[in-house]
Amino acid sequence: MKNDRQQLEQLRQSIDECDEALLALLKKRQGFVEQLVAHKQAAGDAVFVPEREQAIFQRLTDRADFYGLDFELVRDILQRIMRDSYARQARIQRHISPQNQDHQPATQPHQQPQSAKSICVIGGKGQLGGFFVEQFRLSGHSVCVLDRNDWPNADQLLANKDLVLIAVPMAETETTIEQLSGLSDHTLLADITSVKHQPLQHMLKVHSGPVIGLHPMFGPGQSHMARQLLLYTQGRQPEASDWLLQQFRQWGCYTESIDAEAHDTLMGTVQALRHFVTFVTGWQLMANGQSLDELLRVSSPIYRLELSLIGRLFAQQPELYVDIWLKSEQAPSVISAFGDCFKQAEGWINKGERTQLINQFKQIADYFSHSNADFFQQSDTLLEAFRERIQSS
Amino acid sequence: MKNDRQQLEQLRQSIDECDEALLALLKKRQGFVEQLVAHKQAAGDAVFVPEREQAIFQRLTDRADFYGLDFELVRDILQRIMRDSYARQARIQRHISPQNQDHQPATQPHQQPQSAKSICVIGGKGQLGGFFVEQFRLSGHSVCVLDRNDWPNADQLLANKDLVLIAVPMAETETTIEQLSGLSDHTLLADITSVKHQPLQHMLKVHSGPVIGLHPMFGPGQSHMARQLLLYTQGRQPEASDWLLQQFRQWGCYTESIDAEAHDTLMGTVQALRHFVTFVTGWQLMANGQSLDELLRVSSPIYRLELSLIGRLFAQQPELYVDIWLKSEQAPSVISAFGDCFKQAEGWINKGERTQLINQFKQIADYFSHSNADFFQQSDTLLEAFRERIQSS
């Protein structure tokens, strides 16, 4: 029996030694990656290269097989290590760059002088605007900011720019565009509003030069843009925005072109309705006098995850969401359509119509089964990761 | 320039070598863990020991610090490795256990003969029922199954059991309980229905021995129970269920006691309303003729995650959900309350009442800010992990 205990202790010690070796290895890898990034930055190369990542994973599939390891295990660990690399790179860059110095290029520009652009970000002291100001500077562009109080100097700030980027709150987009009639002919005018049709039409009317509508599908709380999604709608002279889209890709973004009206229709569902349902869900919990902590105590991981997604909404600025509901032309009709389905299903429940409910469920399941989405199975792994996270913290 | 290329190539090779060493290390660790698990199983010890895990993470906090590594990186990687261990252990156990042989104990029982129990699982050929049959057998208990066609032999199958576990579909729970009036006095009667008050009252009426209500907050698609949540409601003679709760804890479950009526009230929100809103959301997408693939193309990671949670619901049996809506006494009132909030907010949007919406938003945000939940920040990391998953697959 005592021998057994000793053997158990020895095994535990061996496992601890493996973990120690793992840490040393992570540190060593980090050193090589930092050298690699320094090289890339000096050469102006993209830090995130999907093809290089894919090549690494392709090779690891074979190697995992060789060792008899689960490929998903190897992939998840490598992805986690790479994520750490991107975050570290972003921190290192920030540390190097001059803080709070407007109108100054970064000290470590990645751009060759001839490709550096002259940019004005309207609303560049806002959260997302400020994020782009920083990113443009880190990439060696010359950036100035036009803030609320700077309109008296607008002519000077906007003159002769390669890019004027509108990054003001949604409610101020229209009045901002109205003041941009005097831009230089070669200036590319762009916005990052969450609706695209109206602002794009408005920009095309006010400015006769190149125009593009952008919709970054991410918030300012990011340390980097690797793997983020940027939607864009061409307005006029698409060739004039090539460098800008290329810059986003160099930052690691995926870019997707979309028609302005199709964009707004999709966003009626993707943003307006979805956030609205989340809003009402939070409201109902509050109205019900439900204790969140008691709810959490008895919640499955999937519900804790859903609660955290609800809480995420309410941790942000109300205006962001309220203005999407009020500005989206599609919002009233999709919200009303949701309300109709809700009423009908509620009626079935109150009348105990089990067969109706089951048949409707099957129809919707059929609709979902026709998608190419292969990530339904992946939610299991994701939920397991989430369970580990909430219970170990 | 050529020298530069060479240096870049050398750095990439060094990184690849680190990755190769990482794989070898993972394999080595797996070997030690397998030996450790074999030891534990022979001794009948729990495979998942939260305290041992916590000790490992405590030590790693210091070591990560020593190496200048981000603790979250180290923690995430170790958790991923441990998850792989649990899944491997479950696979190894399954491989060892005899398949499809009813009434036979597993060949590798963990229990000492005196602690092995005699168990009948009613509905043990169903998904969740079958999962428990397997788990009980793997832990060395003697398990028989009472299926739909076995009622003629019920007296024999139910006689003298330590535990009779009801694991039938929700709609059949009542009629099943009615047939259990002849159980032995010492038999522990338990169910795993998603509502607790009515079934518990019913079991107490029919059976005069020990009674407990269980609600496993997980489905049958699990390979193991480590970190899962089991809710339980005591009915009669709680000491008679000590061994059962202890068994769940040995499997790695967290167990939480809850009053039957409080349980049902909470589940009105946690299950009935939540699944209902998901159901209506899926319905609206279908009714809208929305192409899921087009939606996915323009979706942020958080929306792809939400879509995958919706798809998850429709990948399951309709009866599971429809019967929760119809059997939950709380469902009609929470659904109606949600409908009221929805109508009021919809009215504000249609009338353009921006201030009302913003004020309501702030009130709900205040309600959420009073929770102790610290996982709101964690959803960022989780979403980043999800983004990696969907884009690399």
Q: Encode chain B in three state secondary structure.
A: CHHHHHHHHHHHHHHHHHHHHHHHHHHHHHHHHHHHHHHHHHHCCCCCCHHHHHHHHHHHHHHHHHHCCCHHHHHHHHHHHHHHHHHHHHHHHHHHCCCCCCCCCCCCCCCCHHHCCEEEEECCCCHHHHHHHHHHHHCCCEEEEECHHHHHHHHHHHCCCCEEEECCCHHHHHHHHHCCCCCCCCCEEEECCCCCHHHHHHHHHHCCCCEEEEEECCCCCCCCCCCCEEEEEEEECHHHHHHHHHHHHHCCCEEEECCHHHHHHHHHHHHHHHHHHHHHHHHHHHHCCCCHHHHHHCCCHHHHHHHHHHHHHHCCCHHHHHHHHHHCCCHHHHHHHHHHHHHHHHHHHHCCCHHHHHHHHHHHHHHHHCCCCCCCCHHHHHHHHHHHHHHHC
Give the confidence band of B380 by pLDDT, cuts at 50, 70, 90: low
* Mean pLDDT, residues B104-115: 50
Calpha distance A146→A118 (Å, rounded): 13
- How far apart CA A44 and CA A280 sit, in angstroms, is 47
Contact A33, A82 (CB under 8 A): no
The DSSP letter of residue A240 is G
B288 and A372 in contact by Cβ < 8 A?
no
Query: Is any Cβ of chain A less than 8 angstroms from the Cβ of B58?
Result: no
Least confident among A174-183, B20-29, B39-48: B39-48
ipTM, 2 decimals?
0.78
- Edge-to-edge, what's the strand order for the sheet holding A118-122? A142-146, A118-122, A163-166, A188-191, A211-216, A229-236, A254-257
Could you give the residue range(s) of every CATH 3.40.50.720 domain in chain A? 113-258
- Give the pLDDT of residue A109: 46
- B338 and A267 in contact (C-beta within 8 Å)? no
The listed range with the strongest mean pLDDT (A8-22, A346-360, B260-274) is: A346-360
Q: Domain spanning B263-392 has what CATH number?
A: 1.10.3660.10
Q: Are B177 and B206 in contact (CB under 8 A)?
A: yes
Cβ–Cβ of B349/A325 closer than 8 Å? Answer: yes
- Record: contact A36-B266, CB cut-off 8 A: no
DSSP code of residue A371: S
The token pair that represents A148 in the structure block: 């609320």
Which residues from B are below 8 Å from A314, CB to CB?
361, 364-365, 368-369
The closest of B80, B35, B193 to A4, measured between CA atoms, is B35
User: What's the pLDDT at A140?
Assistant: 86
At which residue do the structure tokens 């049959």 appear? Answer: B133
Contact of B144 with B150, CB cutoff 8 Å: no
Q: Which two tokens stand for residue A214?
A: 């952008």
Q: Which of A79, A311, A362 sits opposite B376 (nearest CB)?
A: A311
A316 to chain B, closest Cα gap in Å: 9
Q: Is A336 on the interface with B (CB under 8 A)?
A: yes
- Do B341 and A297 make contact, defined as CB atoms within 8 angstroms? no
| Residue corresponding to tokens 């019913």 | B202
HEC assignment per residue over A73-106: HHHHHHHHHHHHHHHHHHHHHHHHCCCCCCCCCC
∠ CA A213-A214-A218, nearest 5°, is: 160
- Which residue of A291, A295, A314, A334 is the best one to mutate when testing the B interface, meaning the one whose CB has the most B CBs within 10 A? A314
What is the C-alpha to C-alpha distance for residues A294 and A307, in angstroms, rounded to an integer? 12
Kindly determine whether residue A39 and residue B4, on different chains, have CB atoms separated by under 8 Å: yes
Structure tokens at A136: 């443009």
- pLDDT tens for B129-178 read 999 999 999 888 999 999 999 999 999 999 999 999 999 999 999 999 99
* B274 in reach of chain A (CB within 8 A): yes
Fold topology of B113-258: Rossmann fold (3.40.50)
Contacts of A213 in chain B (CB under 8 A): none
CB distance A257 to A232 below 8 Å: yes
Please answer whether residues A128 and A83 qualify as being in contact, where contact means their C-beta atoms are separated by less than 8 angstroms: no
Query: Tell me, what DSSP letter sits at residue A194?
Result: S
Q: Does B51 touch chain A (CB under 8 A)?
A: no
The Cα–Cα gap between A206 and B312 comes to 47
Residues 189-218, chain A, touching B (beta carbon < 8 A) = 217-218
Bridge-partner residues for A257, per DSSP?
A: A232
| Pick from A228, A335, A219, A315: nearest CA to A272 | A335
- Percent of chain A whose predicted confidence (pLDDT) is above 90: 54
Please name the member of B35, B217, B337 whose beta carbon is closest to the beta carbon of A284: B337
Residue B172: C-alpha distances to residues A36, A240, B122, B391 (Å): 63, 67, 11, 43
Give how far Cα B270 sits from Cα of A134, A295, A298, B314, Å.
Answer: 42, 7, 9, 17
Q: Please check whether residue A308 touches B, CB under 8 A.
A: yes
Residue B180 has pLDDT above 50, yes or no: yes
- Percent helix, percent strand, percent coil in chain A, to nearest 5: 65, 10, 25
Position B61 confidence tier, pLDDT thresholds 50, 70, 90: confident
**Residue range(s) occupied by CATH 1.10.3660.10 in chain B:** 263-392
Quote the mean pLDDT of chain A. Answer: 86
Instruction: Judge whether A49 is closer than 8 Å to chain B, CB to CB.
Output: no
- CA distance, residue B158 to nearest chain A CA (Å): 32
Task: Provide mean pLDDT across the span B37-56.
Answer: 76
- A269 CB within 8 Å of a chain B CB: yes
CATH classification of A2-96, choosing from 1.20.59.10, 3.40.630.30, 1.20.1050.10, 3.40.50.300? 1.20.59.10
Residue B267: both structure tokens together: 């589940």
pLDDT at residue B269, rounded to an integer = 87
Chains A–B, number of C-beta pairs less than 8 Å apart: 438
Tokens of A281: 């869900």
pLDDT at B124 over 50: yes
pLDDT in tens, A259-315: 999 999 999 988 899 999 999 999 999 998 888 888 888 887 777 778 888 888 898
Task: Tell me if chain B has a CB within 8 Å of the CB of A1.
Answer: no
- The burial class, CB within 10 Å (0-12 / 13-18 / 19+), for A135 is buried
**Cβ atoms A89, A224 nearer than 8 A:** yes
Residue with structure tokens 């009866």? B319
The pLDDT value recorded for residue A85 is 84
Where does chain A hold its CATH 1.20.59.10 domain(s)? 2-96
Residue pLDDT, tens place only, A189-230:
999 999 999 999 999 999 999 999 999 998 777 777 877 899
Provide the pLDDT for residue A357.
97
Any chain B CB within 8 A of the CB of A388?
yes
B289 contacts chain A (CB < 8 A) = no
Contact with chain A for residue B71, Cβ under 8 A: no
List of chain B residues whose C-beta atoms are within 8 Å of the C-beta of residue A258 = 298
